[in-house]
Every structure is written in structure tokens, then in C-alpha cells.
């Protein structure tokens, strides 16, 4: 039993190392993808949304960029998680802001905690979604005045821009493939479970 545990730990350690190992040439495409994605959102804001100040360019998009351009193998960076995680979290955040009184120590933790649960339930877990929910209740009068429009813009439109940019720049070279159905960690886990089942049969 001990040997199996140590062996599995070595496998996970190796897989985590490989999962975070990035070819230096890929740094260029990660930079370009993130730059272009955020540039497009910021440029659209500068042209059409001057009265909303920085509402369209929210902080959680920066966190999403780390995943969808720098960790494209991660299950949390896939399109379903990117778009679904932000939209679900935005819906939760706006709902909390509308239903509850403006008491920050109540609305802020409830929005974040609820968004995590709803993302888990919908299989759209995306860490920056927590920030999206938090912004919905702490964004001030400008965000509050948007109401559920906050879900459509900036959230839905912004994530679509990030996704379309990722689909282009994450598939330019032969080594980059996005979306990825299964990560290396999942493949390793499936092989381990399959070997375990085969061992039981024999």
C-alpha cells in the first residue's frame, strides 16, 4: 500500500511539473494572445464607453488571461469554464447585490461563496469568476446601475473577446491546442484508474 501511494505521488509530481512546464517559445504566444485580448477590450471601451470609465475592463479579465493564454492545458481555462464561470458568477453577484441591503461584510462573502458553489454545480469552475461576483457587489454606483446588464456587458461580451482571441493565438503553432478536452493530469488519472480496474479483474 505504501509503495502504491509513493508511486502515485511521484506520478502526480511529474504530471504537475509537466503541466506547468512551458517551452520558452510559447512565452511569445502567451504574451501576444493576452496583449491582443485585453487590447481589444480596452480599445472598444476607449471608443464607445467613456462614460462607464473602467467598468468594461474589469480586473477578473486579467486573471482569466493568465489561464486562457498562459495555462491553456488547464481544465479551468477551457471555453465552458471561461464563459460559463464568468456569466454564472455575474448572475450570482448581481442577484446578491439586488436582494440584500448594501452591507459589504455580508454581500461580498456571500457573492463569492455562492458563485463558487454555482460554478461547481454547473461544471464551469473558473477562479476569476469569484472576482467577477465580487465586483458586482463592490463596484460602486456605476456597476450597480447596470443591474443585470452587467452580465451581458461587460461580462459576456468581454469573455467572448477573450475566447475568440484565444482560439486564434492558442492554435497558431503545432504545439498549442485550444480548447483541450483532456489535460495531461486527467489522462494520467484515467490511465491509473484503468490499470486499477484491470488489476481487480485479474
CB neighbours of residue 66 within 10 Å: 15
CA–CA distance, 147 with 55 (Å, rounded to integer): 13
Q: What is the pLDDT of residue 48?
A: 66
The pLDDT score that the predictor gives to residue 201 is: 61
- Asked if 165 and 70 count as a contact pair (C-beta separation under 8 A), the reply is no
- What number of helices (H) and strands (E) belong to the chain? 10, 0
pLDDT computed for residue 76 by the predictor: 94
Categorise residue 123: left if φ over 0, alpha if ψ from -120 to 50, beta otherwise: left
Q: pTM for this one?
A: 0.76
Task: Give the number of C-alpha atoms closer than 13 A to the C-alpha of residue 184, restricted to the C-beta side.
Answer: 15
Per-residue pLDDT at 126: 96
C-alpha grid cell, residue 91? 448572475
Per-residue pLDDT of the chain (202 residues; tens, 9 = 90+): 556 666 655 654 544 445 455 567 778 888 999 999 999 988 887 776 655 555 677 889 999 999 999 999 899 999 999 999 999 999 999 999 999 998 999 999 999 999 999 999 999 999 999 999 999 999 888 888 899 999 998 999 999 999 999 999 999 887 788 998 654 545 555 566 667 677 666 5
d(CA 129, CA 133): 6
Amino acid at each position: 500500500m505504501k509503495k502504491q501511494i509513493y508511486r502515485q505521488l511521484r506520478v502526480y509530481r511529474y504530471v504537475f511539473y509537466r503541466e506547468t512546464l512551458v517551452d520558452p517559445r510559447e512565452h511569445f504566444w502567451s504574451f501576444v494572445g493576452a496583449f491582443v485580448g485585453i487590447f481589444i477590450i480596452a480599445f472598444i471601451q476607449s471608443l464607445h464607453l467613456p462614460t462607464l470609465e473602467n467598468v468594461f475592463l474589469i480586473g477578473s479579465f486579467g486573471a482569466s488571461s493568465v489561464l486562457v493564454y498562459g495555462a491553456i492545458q488547464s481544465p479551468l481555462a477551457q471555453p465552458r469554464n471561461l464563459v460559463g464561470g464568468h456569466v454564472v458568477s455575474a448572475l450570482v453577484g448581481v442577484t446578491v447585490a439586488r436582494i440584500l441591503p448594501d452591507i459589504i461584510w455580508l454581500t461580498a462573502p456571500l457573492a463569492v461563496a455562492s458563485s463558487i458553489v454555482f460554478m461547481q454545480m454547473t461544471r464551469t469552475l473558473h477562479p476569476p469568476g469569484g472576482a467577477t461576483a465580487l465586483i458586482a457587489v463592490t463596484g460602486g454606483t456605476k456597476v450597480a446601475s447596470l443591474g443585470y446588464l452587467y452580465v451581458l456587458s461587460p461580462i459576456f461580451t468581454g469573455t467572448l473577446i477573450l475566447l475568440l482571441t484565444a482560439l486564434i493565438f492558442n492554435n497558431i503553432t503545432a504545439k498549442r491546442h485550444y480548447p483541450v478536452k483532456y489535460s495531461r493530469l486527467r489522462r494520467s488519472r484515467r490511465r491509473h484508474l484503468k490499470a486499477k480496474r484491470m488489476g481487480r479483474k485479474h
